[in-house]
Amino acid sequence: MPPVRVLIVDDSAVVRKLLCEALANNAAVTVAGTASNGTIALAKIPQLNPDVITLDIEMPGLNGIQTLVEIRKLYPKLPVIMCSTLTERGAAITLEALSAGASDYVTKPSNSESLRSALEQLRQELVAKILGLTNRFTPAVSLLARAPLKKKPSGQPIGILAIGASTGGPNALGEVIPHLPADFPVPVVIVQHMPPVFTRLLADRLNSCSPLSVREGEAGKLLEPGQVWIAPGNYHMTVARRGTAAVLNLNQEPPENSCRPAVDVLFRSVAQTYGASVLAVVMTGMGSDGARGALHIRDGGGGILVQDEATSIVWGMPGSVVEAGVVDKICPLTEISQEIVRRVAFSRTRVSGVTAAQPI
């Protein structure tokens, strides 16, 4: 199989060199060319026929967003990875780029990092995303044993909704969360793989267009109906019992699946705290984070939905849950919110007098 051809677009010669070095010495990837601005990039695409584009956000002339809009008009399926700074402005523009059709993003190394460690981190992250977006990523051999589906105990109302997502997740969440009704009767906890600042701005963006309250997770907060909590970047988020209630906890224990926050960590905690009252959803994302946690939820009698392959940017995470054999239903993105609402409502009305599900 020929290597993935990458076009690097950045107005900084230093960053172009850094990105070229990050992709060097990898037989699966080759730099097809570089461009110093959006106009040159648009001219080079038909000449170089790249498989992936890395695109700087802030450039003179056509900026990254404007260039992305033009790319999407001409090449709607060409993967584009935005290169962002780890700042509030960089995060805000990156979310705008994702809404405009960017496939994913990487953050540029900061001046505080050593060049060697920054280059290695960028190499690992960028190569994985390039290969994932072009279906060249070879996942590790699955250690998940197929588990027999356990029947959910009849009459058990759903008491919490837990969602995991990664690549393509911000847009997928933007399709699901705003369509949950204002009287949604259970709390929602979410892990979206993103760094600090990005998760807070994502919560703000979803809050502005949702009938529910969407906030970044805070330690000690009580879980109440109609609240949506997104795990902060660089922190695992868990739920735990406090008397008859449940609260959020945050920690910086080691990453799992190379992620912090990790979906598996959240899913394990909701399974332990809520048992059969969990409804989990795994959406678009690279890798297999969430699959082991889904096994815990299934073992506890909870339900699991996943996004289908056709509407996922990358079907790694939902696909790994399907492979584990613990999925109740596979849904197109546009049908996930209505399936959630239907299942929650049905679980809570089939038992007369049920008003809330308590943590176990």
Q: What is the pLDDT of residues 202-219, one digit of tens each?
A: 999 999 999 999 999 999
Decide: 266 and 189 in contact? Cβ < 8 Å. Answer: yes
Decide: 237 and 261 in contact? Cβ < 8 Å. Answer: yes
- Tell me: the pLDDT tens digits for 70-121? 999 999 999 999 998 878 888 999 999 999 999 999 988 766 556 677 778 8
User: To which CATH superfamily is domain 4-133 assigned?
Assistant: Response regulator (3.40.50.2300)
Separation in Å, CA 186 to CA 26, 104, 235 = 47, 31, 23
| Mean local confidence (pLDDT), 253-275 | 97
Long-range contacts for 338-345 (Cβ within 8 Å, ≥24 apart)?
338/179, 339/305, 340/161, 340/176, 340/180, 340/279, 340/281, 340/305, 341/180, 341/181, 341/184, 343/158, 343/279, 343/303, 343/305, 344/158, 344/161, 344/184, 344/185, 344/186, 344/279
Q: Above 60 in pLDDT, residue 223? A: yes
Q: Which CATH class is domain 160-349?
A: alpha beta
DSSP H stretches of helix in 24-63:
38-48
Residue 155: pLDDT band with limits 50, 70, 90: low
| DSSP 3-state of 68 | helix
CB atoms within 10 A of CB 351: 11
Strand order in the sheet with 227-230: 213-216, 227-230, 188-192, 160-165, 278-282, 303-307, 329-331
Q: Above 80 in pLDDT, residue 152? A: no
Q: Above 50 in pLDDT, residue 298? A: yes
- Tell me: the pLDDT tens digits for 39-83? 999 999 999 999 999 999 989 999 999 999 999 999 999 999 999
Residue 358: pLDDT band with limits 50, 70, 90: low
Average pLDDT in the chain:
91
Q: What is the pTM of this model?
A: 0.92
For residues 340 and 1, the model is more confident at: 340
Same fold flag, 4-133 and 160-349 = yes
Residue 134: pLDDT band with limits 50, 70, 90: very high
Is 204 a catalytic site residue?
no
| Mean local confidence (pLDDT), 283-298 | 95
Residue count of the chain, please give it.
360
H-helix or E-strand spanning residue 98: helix 88-99
Residue 30: pLDDT band with limits 50, 70, 90: very high
Catalytic hit among 36, 84, 103, 166? 166
| Mean local confidence (pLDDT), 297-306 | 94
| Rounded distance between C-alpha atoms, residue 167 and residue 283, angstroms | 9
Q: Above 50 in pLDDT, residue 141? A: no
Among 203, 54, 59, 191, CA closest to 129 = 54
H-helix or E-strand spanning residue 29: strand 29-35
Catalytic hit among 193, 312, 337, 347? 193
- Tell me: the pLDDT tens digits for 307-339? 999 999 999 999 999 999 999 999 999 999 999
Question: Encoding tokens for residue 217?
Answer: 């997770």
Question: Encoding tokens for residue 158?
Answer: 């759903």
Question: Encoding tokens for residue 42?
Answer: 């648009």
Q: What angle do CA 351, 149, 267 make, to 5 degrees?
A: 80
pLDDT of residue 140: 46
Decide: 119 and 109 in contact? Cβ < 8 Å. Answer: yes
Percent of the chain with pLDDT over 70: 90
| Rounded distance between C-alpha atoms, residue 252 and residue 20, angstroms | 32
Separation in Å, CA 315 to CA 89, 283, 284 = 30, 8, 6
Is 166 a catalytic site residue?
yes
Is 104 a catalytic site residue?
no
| Mean local confidence (pLDDT), 217-232 | 97
Break the chain into its structural domains and give their ranges.
Answer: 4-133, 160-349
- Tell me: the pLDDT tens digits for 228-262? 999 999 999 999 999 989 999 999 999 999 999 99
Catalytic hit among 10, 51, 56, 289? 289
